[in-house]
C-alpha cells in the first residue's frame, strides 16, 4: 500500500466527494497546494498503488450521466509515469 497525493481543483471537490466511494482507497488528509492556487491536495492510501508511487491521477468518464473511474495513473517521486503491472499468463504448452 502506498500513500499518494491526488491534486483536485477546488471547484471539483464536491464531484470528487460524490465518487470517493468508488475509489479503492482511503483519504487520510487534505491540504491546500502551496504552489497552485485553487488546488487541494488529497492524501490517499491506495492498496493497489505501486510502492514507489507518490502522486496519482484519476481518469473519469460519464456513463448514463454518472461519473465512472476508467483508469488510475501513478507517478513516482521524480514525476516518472509508472506503467501498470500486467501479470503474464502461465507458460503455454
Tell me, what's the pLDDT at 83? 85
18 is a domain residue: yes
Number of structural domains in the chain: 1
User: Contacts by 85-91 with C-beta closer than 8 Å and gap 24+?
Assistant: 85/50
Q: Is residue 72 part of a domain?
A: no
Q: Can you count the helices (H) and strands (E) in the chain?
A: 1, 6
The reply to whether 13 falls in a domain is: yes
Average pLDDT on 44-51 reads: 94
**Domain range holding 20?**
1-29
* Sheet containing 55-63, strands listed edge to edge, beginning at the edge strand earlier in sequence: 26-32, 39-46, 2-9, 55-63, 66-75, 81-82
Q: What is the pLDDT of residue 63?
A: 87
> Is residue 1 included in any domain, yes or no?
yes
C-alpha cell at 47: 492498496
Task: Give the global pTM.
Answer: 0.83
pLDDT at 13 over 70: yes
Amino acid at each position: 500500500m502506498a500513500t499518494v497525493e491526488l491534486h483536485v481543483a477546488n471547484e471539483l471537490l464536491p464531484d470528487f466527494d460524490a465518487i470517493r466511494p468508488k475509489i479503492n482507497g482511503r483519504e487520510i488528509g487534505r491540504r491546500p497546494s502551496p504552489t497552485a492556487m485553487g488546488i487541494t491536495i488529497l492524501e490517499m492510501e491506495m492498496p493497489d498503488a505501486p510502492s514507489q508511487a507518490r502522486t496519482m491521477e484519476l481518469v473519469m468518464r460519464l456513463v448514463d450521466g454518472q461519473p465512472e473511474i476508467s483508469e488510475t495513473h501513478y507517478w513516482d517521486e521524480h514525476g516518472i509515469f509508472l506503467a501498470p503491472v500486467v501479470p503474464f499468463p502461465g507458460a503455454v504448452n
